[in-house]
Amino acid sequence: MKSLFVRFFLSFWLIIGITIGAAAIGGFWYAERMRDTMESFELGDSMLDASAALDAGGREGLASWLKDFPQSQAVTIFVLDQRGQDILERRVPPWIARGFRRHRQHEHDDRRNLDEPVNLRRARPAPQLVTTSGDTYTFFVMPSRIPDAVLGSTDARLLLLIFALLASGLVSYALASAISRPVRKLRDATIALADGDLNVRVADSIGKRRDEVGMLGREFDSMAEKLQRAALQQTELSRNISHELRSPLARMRVAVELAKRQAGDLPEFDRLDVEAERLDSLIGQILSYTKLDVAPHQDPESVKLDELISEVVENVNYECKAEGISGVSVSSDIGASPSICGYPGALVSAIENILRNAVRHSPPNSDVSISLEQKDGEAIVEVADHGPGVDEDDLAELFEPFFRTRKSAESDRDHGTGLGLAIAERAVRMNGGRIAAENRVGGGLLVRVVLPVQKGLS
């Protein structure tokens, strides 16, 4: 079917048709069976036996005959007295009670309509036996119920209802499955696209359909392709701009140096050097981020995390001393030596940027700690500082490119670009891990990196 509208319409129509058809067939079958049973009983020997029992023993004799009536006859008999009570004191089914009331009304109408011919007697809805004293016993005969071993104490109407429910349930299940399966696949693809997987497509599973869902799948693939092209163009543009900026920046620094030699050391030249250094650092971070924004060209390899972290800690401590950062140092607590299959260059960049961010936001003469442990097949790296922390509202955006908290933007000593943690997040995700940040109870920020440890490498 090419249209969901047609599919829904035909499915519901089919359900209603099955239900009506089953009800009509079941009702006709039951009515015919009731008629045959009544005629067979009234014309057979059973009615003669009941008459003889009534003549011989009265009400008690008729009740005894009814108790001894053979079950093999496949019929159920109710014998009602003039008050509508069963002579065996059984509960009278509602439809039999209604039939008895109509029967009594029928007899009343016979006595009341005196203008009818004397020799006319209306057809009786049910057979009757009359005693010599004038007491009347009305017989209601119906097919026996379905055996208890099959459906308990249910009758044909319940069987019909079960059949209708099963038929409609099967059709509804088929319809729901036909709709929900492609919708779930489209939802999974949407989540993957939102998480940054621009290569996701649904054409193989959904796009081949010729209904509205298939059209939606093809539109989704078209959207994903446009987003991927836009992302690649943006990455290429950022890379090209960064490369183009470095050439005039280098020439500007040479010009400043030449001017400094001719004019002497002026404060303005020192200011130009500082700003050129910041600009060069920003360009370098943009290039690092754009390199991580595309798929790596090298194959993943085994990486010893303990050795990698120790090397990064040594480098960051050296930078702290060389740049004269007010007594801030990095200490490590290596509690495991897990190995992962990943990209060592990206991991070094991730750990370096996290540590540099922690050092930059730490107060003078404080300590930044980094720990490594392995738990449940995962390597857990935690970096904790004693800085001011981050507003809870900013934690969710902390790893977005160029995002800076309000405290960082207002701080005179913070000259960050807002790319360090974004580079770390992209590098960790490229290695199949995840990263998160939270404020410490005692103050400061805790950044946690979780990386999968492959079996046989830990």
Domain boundaries, the chain: 210-295, 299-452
Query: What does the mean pLDDT of the chain come to?
Result: 77
**Residue 318 one-letter amino acid:** Y
Specify the pLDDT at position 242.
65
The DSSP string of 41-58 is: HHHSHHHHHHHHHHHHHH
Specify the pLDDT at position 310.
92
b (16+ CB within 10 A) / e for 112-129: eeeeeeeeeeeeeebbeb
How much is the pTM? 0.50
Q: Is the pLDDT of residue 370 over 90?
A: yes
Q: Is the pLDDT of residue 451 over 90?
A: yes
Residue 142 forms beta bridges with which residues? 76
Q: How far is CA 116 from CA 112, 343, 374, in A?
A: 9, 107, 103
Over residues 317-343, the mean pLDDT reads 84
The DSSP string of 56-104 is: HHHHHHHHHHHHT--GGG-EEEEEE-TTS-BTT-PPPPHHHHHHHHHHH
Please name the residues in contact with 278: beta carbons below 8 A apart, sequence gap of 6 or more.
415
Specify the pLDDT at position 150.
38
Specify the pLDDT at position 153.
42
Higher pLDDT, 439 or 209: 439
Over residues 236-260, the mean pLDDT reads 74
Over residues 54-72, the mean pLDDT reads 83
pLDDT above 90 covers a percentage of the chain that reads 10
CATH topology of domain 210-295: Helix Hairpins (1.10.287)
Q: Of 10-24, 289-303, 339-353, 381-395, which range is least confident?
A: 289-303
Over residues 208-216, the mean pLDDT reads 78
> In which element (H, E) is residue 374 found?
strand 367-375
Q: Is the pLDDT of residue 312 over 60?
A: yes
pLDDT above 70 covers a percentage of the chain that reads 73
Q: Is the pLDDT of residue 15 over 90?
A: no
Which of 35-49, 66-80, 376-390 is the most confident on average? 376-390
The yes or no reply on domain 299-452 and CATH 3.30.565.10 is yes
Which of 25-34, 110-119, 221-230, 251-260 is the most confident on average? 221-230
Residue pointed to by tokens 């160029």: 402
Specify the pLDDT at position 298.
66
Q: Is the pLDDT of residue 220 over 90?
A: no
pLDDT band at 280 (very low <50, low <70, confident <90, very high): confident
Higher pLDDT, 358 or 276: 358
Higher pLDDT, 54 or 244: 54
Higher pLDDT, 456 or 256: 256
8 A C-beta contact, residue 384 and residue 331: no
